[in-house]
Amino acid sequence: MFGQERLREIERRQDELVRRSDLHREVLLLETATWARRLAWVDSAREAASRARWLLVPVAAFGGVFAIRKWRTLLRWLPTGLSVWRWVRSLRGAS
């Protein structure tokens, strides 16, 4: 009698563990799909950057010289730039 009850309890726990693992597996699949959708723009940005590679070196050099010469102006515009960056990110996340 006690053995049968114990066996049913073990089977019940096993079924519960299987259901939980199935649920967690589905949650992981959903999160994977969500992150893949959120990060899809990275691949297109990488492709665009590789197409414009010849332009990146002079722009980076110019940006470095500008940053050294105008660092106080850049610090004053930094909050505005960050606000614009957040706004662009919010638009990219909404679409």
DSSP letter for each residue of 31-58: HHHHHHHHTHHHHHHHHHHHHTHHHHHH
Render pLDDT for 39-83 as a digit per residue (tens, 0 to 9).
Answer: 888 888 888 777 777 777 788 888 787 777 777 777 787 888 889
Is-contact 6 57, C-beta < 8 A?
Answer: no
Q: Which domain holds residue 76?
A: 53-95
| H or E segment to which residue 2 belongs | helix 2-38
Distance separating alpha carbons of residues 56 and 29, to the nearest angstrom? 37
Q: Is residue 91 included in any domain, yes or no?
A: yes
**27/62 same-domain check:** no
> What's the number of domains the chain is made of?
2
Residue 12 has pLDDT above 90, yes or no: yes
Residue 33 pLDDT exceeds 90: yes
The model carries a pTM of 0.44
Q: Is the pLDDT at 90 greater than 70, yes or no? A: yes
- 26's tokens: 């589905």
Residue 81 lies in a domain: yes
| pLDDT value of position 94 | 60
% of the chain at pLDDT higher than 70? 96
Average pLDDT across the chain, whole number: 85
